[in-house]
Amino acid sequence: MAPRVVIPGFIGYGVVIIAGAHGAGKTTGLLPLSMVAAGLHRHGDPLAPKHWRHVVYIVEDAEQARRIVAGIVKFSGLGLDVGTVRARLHIVEARRLEPSYVAEVAATYREQFARTVDGVEVPPLVVFDTKSAILAMDEENSNTEASAIVAMLKQDFEGLPVWLVGHVSKPNMNRADAAGLSLRGGSAFEADANQVLYLVKEGESRYLVRGKTRFEAEWPELQIESRTAATMARDEFGDMQAVTLRWAIATPPEQSRKEAQEQAQEAARKADAAALRDEVREVIEVAWLGGFPLNREGVKAKVRRNRNEVTDTIENLLAERWLHEVVIPPKERTNPKRGAFLVNLTTIEHEAAIRGEGLPPAKLLVPESWRRPAAPSVSEPAPQDEAEAAHASDE
């Protein structure tokens, strides 16, 4: 079955993390993109879905969101009907709430806004812009809380597609930085999400760049083109004031076939390298859990790939603190060549290692399969033979 999508060729179904630096224009770029999911787009838009869905856009600044929508409706030339926009796009002002409470509104959104097309349910898209303004967390960098929030959105949010918008700490980033970017807060947000996207700025241009994706996307990025329009509006005192409306339109990149092919080859290379990293870590984890951990040569024997690539991958994972090499004291070694074995670290253990904290004792314990049996401290007396026993009883 083909993967479900919200924005064909680029954004899939499920929990999608979208992160950008402060001032990158997340709302001005993402609100119009969510309108595409609602069928509010230009004719022939390559991002247009087969069937539109309602969009619930929960945002910090509802007034800003309404100005963005006003700019699109009045000045973009899309020919949108105000009544249709209001019927499909539902702007909600954000309030900071406990994740468990946020989950309770999912049933209401499904009941009010789910559509049925040809016997298929088309549930609403829910956008949280931004996560810090809506989802209350005791500790922003807590992976435990982050995992719990993503699990809630996956399991308890009525199966609705969700965009969770957040910030990255790096202020000046470009497309080349996207591979190394991370959402500010617990890294489990990205690890557990169905898809990760980054909004980056290069000069006057902005791009929505694909990060982690669990389906074969058609484009690696979308270009975000800003638009403005000047109009007049009344202020709170009823006086007319000049107002600049700003919004942005997302479009697939225009590139040559050669560029697209080279980019696809590079993406395939990165995907292959990522798959090899996952395979190496899994082989090491399974062996350790079974009580028979592997050393470097053991991993190379298990992973049926180019030995040099496996060697480089092991070295990189060790340098990045995703693997740890446990050295066995010489007196405990069963063989001179079995001087150390590898263990895989979880995300929490990895971050602890980066901070210079110790690993759990269980990860450093040398299993019996790698340890020479300890010699008995006191030799036991040899048993008497039957003749000696009989002689002793006669005496």
- The span from the CA of 198 to the CA of 26, in Å, is 10
pLDDT value at 95 more than 80: yes
Residue 210 inside a domain? The answer is: yes
What is the C-alpha to C-alpha distance for residues 195 and 210, in angstroms, rounded to an integer?
Answer: 8
Considering 104-108, 197-201, 257-261, 295-299, the range whose residues carry the highest mean pLDDT is 295-299
Same domain, 249 and 140: yes
pLDDT-based confidence at 255, cuts 50/70/90? low
**Predicted TM-score of the model (pTM):** 0.63
Place 116 in a pLDDT band, splitting at 50, 70 and 90: very high
Cα–Cα dist 336/358, whole Å: 27
pLDDT at 187 over 80: no
Q: Which residue has better confidence, 21 or 196? A: 196
| 179 burial via Cβ count (<10 Å: 0-12, 13-18, 19+) | exposed
Q: What is the predicted pLDDT for the residue at 189?
A: 61
On average, the pLDDT of the chain sits at 86
Residues 59 and 192 placed together within one structural domain of the fold: yes
> In the predicted model, is pLDDT for residue 395 greater than 50?
no
pLDDT at 52: 98
Do 288 and 143 belong to one domain? no
* Domains in the chain, number: 2
> Do 213 and 151 belong together in one domain?
yes
Residue range 243-272: average pLDDT? 83
Type of residue found at 240: M
**Domain with 314 in it:** 262-370
Count the alpha carbons within 13 Å of 197 in the hemisphere toward its beta carbon.
Answer: 25
296 and 159 inside one domain: no
Summarize the confidence of residues 21-49 as an average pLDDT.
94
CATH of the domain at 356: 1.10.10.10
CA-closest candidate to residue 200, choices 49, 23, 370, 63: 23
* 3-class secondary-structure state, position 94: coil
Which of 305, 291, 273 has the alpha carbon at shortest distance from 341? 291
Please check whether residue 242 lies inside any domain of the structure: yes
Based on the fold, state whether residues 219 and 349 are members of the same structural domain.
Answer: no
Mean pLDDT (whole number) for 29-34: 97
Per-residue pLDDT, averaged over 144-157, amounts to 79
328 domain residue, yes or no: yes
Q: Do 266 and 355 have their domain in common?
A: yes
Residues 6+ apart with CB under 8 A from 143: 186, 187, 188, 347, 348, 351
In this structure, the answer to whether residues 80 and 117 fall within a common structural domain is yes
